[in-house]
Structure formats: C-alpha cells, structure tokens
Amino acid sequence: MDKTSDKKEDSSVKLNYVCRNIVDCKQGTVRAVRFNVDGSYCLTCGADRTLKLWNPHRSLLLKTYLGHGGEVYDAAGSCDNSQLCSGGGDRIVVLWDVATGRPLRRLRGHAGRINCICFNEESSIIVSGSQDCTVRCWDIRCRQTRDAEMVLAESSDAVTSLFVTDHEIVTGSLDGRVRRYDVRAGELVTDCVAQPVTCVSQTRDGQCVVVSGADSTVRLLDRDTGELLGEYRGHDVSGFTTESCVDNTDRHVLSGSADGHVYCWDLVREKLTETLVHGEVKGSASVVSSLSPHPLRSGLLSAAGGTVKLWGPEESPDGPDEA
C-alpha cells in the first residue's frame, strides 16, 4: 500500500463547525446551557439565580424565570415545551410554566445543591441528582404529595450528571461510578471508571455511554457490558467540571475544556480532529463547562463565562445546512 492510500485510510472527518451566533447572557457565569426538545430555543442557568429562555439563533431573550434562592446549576424543558424544571444551590426543584414564567411547584427533599436535572420521556417525572449523593424522582402528576416518589442512594459521593431513557436512569458520580438503574426490572448495574465522573451522556444510537472524568479523559463505554471502547485526551479539565457529548451523526466526541476550547475527536479513530475556540480569556471565565448538541441536526451550544456560542456547519450556496 502506498503512502497516498495510507493517508486516505487514516484521515478523519472534521465537523467543520463555525460560530453562528454569540449570546451575552448577562446572568453572571452560565452554569449550564440546554437546547429544548426541537432545538428552536435554549435555556441558560445563571450564577445570578436566574433561568433564561432564549432564541439562540437571534440572541433573543424570551423570558426570565425568577424564584431560586441560589445559583441555578441545571434545567430542562418538557417534551411539549409547556414546562421547565430547574435545580441549584438552594436545594429546591422548581417546576415552571413556560408561558407565564410562574413556578408551579417547589419540591424539597435534597440536602445538598442540585447538580443535574431532567424530565423522563413523557415529562411526568422529574429526576434530580444532588451533592447529597442521592437521585430523587418526583411525580409531578400528583399535586398532593411533595415528597419524592423514589430515592436512589447508592452513590458514596456527589451525583454530578444523569440522563433518562424509557426505562433507565443513568448517573455519574464523583465516586468514580456510572450507575444504570433499570426501573422496569428493578435492577442496578454499576461500571467503575476509577476517576471522579463529571458528565455522562449517551450516543444517538443508544449503544454507548460517554463519560467525562476528572483526569482530563473522556471515555466511551459499551452500554450493556461496560466495556471500554475508546479514550479521548488532549483537553484540560484543571479541576473544573466540564461536559461531553456526541454530535448528531455519532461520528464525533466533543468536550469542553479549561482553556476556552471545545475539543472534537473522531469517535472511531480516537483522534483529535479540531478545536472550536469559545474564548481566549484566562481563568474561570474561559472554561467551557457546558455543551448541548442540537437534538435533531448538526449544531452545538457551548457555554463559558457569561456567554453562549451557537456552532453549526458552514452554510452551503443554497442556504443553511439543515442535515
């Protein structure tokens, strides 16, 4: 085989994302950014105790939600875009009405700050993970009770990240474990990463779990067996919490970094293909701490300091790429 064919075989496909827009959120440090279910809008969680709803494509602020007594660390939108849930430093889960901006429920039970939160697929249950080492499931269909429907207390350290499927709750913890709770079967499977876990997410095909570690390594695990399929390095965590994810094609692994960049690797070859520069300011303001991939097509939101950047493929001569 000649050198030309070797280069073709080893070549990795790039994302070729460009910055489409910048949103100055004006809410202190943005703790998390999240697309809504169809990618038309996004939520930003602020150190100034506010939750904001944006059209990130136009930098248009649609609504500000006030009511938390501490920093807001995570939020999510319901499947019909009518409600939001959020949690933060005040240890309270808040259910919001999108249109009016009013809190519908305040759910108390966590003994530490809430690091991560999401709805189940039907948006009938809110699942929250906390610094108190527990995951709590809140049935919001029942208006009488304010206690959690279920408490998962197997973690020995803070729960930092979680996601929910139709029958599983997957969590990441600083105790170095990824836990998969099969709600239907009542079973728990634990995978040991041996490093504090700062973020867990899944590939679009649902076959793998993407795990960010405090050792500046992103790992790809087989969802069923826990087998290590890939490791991705080059970014710098430096003691900060950074998130990771995959793009809409399952071809790239993406991670935030303390140096103000988003790192992009070829998922199969485990090679760094490119970096996206969010900011050049040194210090905590430059840390790309949160990422949110577009739920339907090519695109990404990144948060660092007080700004959010919208990334997407370069426009073709016929208009924006909607693939």
Q: What is the pLDDT of residues 49-84, one digit of tens each?
A: 999 999 999 999 999 999 999 999 999 999 999 999
pLDDT tens profile 266-287: 999 999 999 999 986 555 568 9
Alpha-carbon Rg for the chain in angstroms: 19
**Residue 172: CB partners within 8 Å, gap ≥ 6?**
159, 160, 161, 162, 178, 197, 198, 199, 200, 211, 212
Does residue 153 sit within a domain? yes
Does residue 60 sit within a domain? yes
Does residue 271 sit within a domain? no
Statement: residue 35 has pLDDT above 60: yes
What pLDDT does residue 221 have? 98
Which pair of structure tokens corresponds to residue 111? 């003994």
The residue type at 256:
G
Domain that holds residue 49: 28-243
pTM of the complete model: 0.92
Start-to-end C-alpha separation, the chain: 35
Residue 267: Cβ-neighbour burial (10 angstroms; 0-12, 13-18, 19+): buried
State the CATH number of the domain containing residue 126. 2.130.10.10
Whole-angstrom Cα distance, residue 28 to residue 41?
20
Q: Could you tell me what percent of the chain has a pLDDT over 90? A: 87
Does residue 13 sit within a domain? no
Does residue 12 sit within a domain? no
What pLDDT does residue 143 have? 76
As for how many domains the chain has, the answer is 1
Does residue 286 sit within a domain? no
pLDDT tens profile 188-243: 999 999 999 999 999 999 999 999 999 999 999 999 999 999 999 999 998 899 99
Does residue 320 sit within a domain? no
Does residue 72 sit within a domain? yes
Whole-angstrom Cα distance, residue 155 to residue 178?
10
What are φ and ψ of residue 9, in 5° steps? -70, -35
